[in-house]
Amino acid sequence: DQQVKQNSPSLSVQEGRISILNCDYTNSMFDYFLWYKKYPAEGPTFLISISSIKDKNEDGRFTVFLNKSAKHLSLHIVPSQPGDSAVYFCAASGRYQGGSEKLVFGKGTKLTVNP
């Protein structure tokens, strides 16, 4: 049962345009959401996050939107640059029995930004 879904395995955009990566989740206990970026042969690096008490968080060219009623979040990159080409993972966390947390990841979306 996949609790975090990234339904688009890949996305291709032109340099300078907007990239929109989508993520859906099923578990209403999730209260914190993160986006990670991963280049080949490297570990994921943290990009941006959002708490469930907010509906938007912005950091430079990156903005994450959260729609709790739809259990949907999206990452907007504006303007997109060739260096943004990577695999983007959506992740969610929430309190589980015992008080500890764990991150649940989607399968990733490969973004290609064409010059």
Q: How far apart are CA 88 and CA 12, in angstroms?
A: 13
Question: Per CB under 8 A, which region of 20-28, 60-68, 75-83, 90-98 contacts another protein?
Answer: 90-98
Nearest distance in Å: CB 68, another protein: 18
Binding of residue 60 to another protein (CB under 8 A)? no
DSSP 34-77: EEEEE-TTS--EEEEEEETT-SEEEETTEEEEEETTTTEEEEEE
Do residues 78 and 61 lie in contact, with contact meaning Cβ atoms separated by under 8 Å? yes
95 near another protein, rule: CB under 8 A: no
Verify binding: residue 62, another protein, rule CB under 8 A: no
Binding mask 4-33 toward another protein (x if CB under 8 A, else -) reads ----------------------------x-
What are the tokens at 112? Answer: 């290609």
102 scored as a contact of another protein (CB under 8 A): yes
Q: How many residues in the shown chain lie near another protein by CB under 8 A?
A: 25
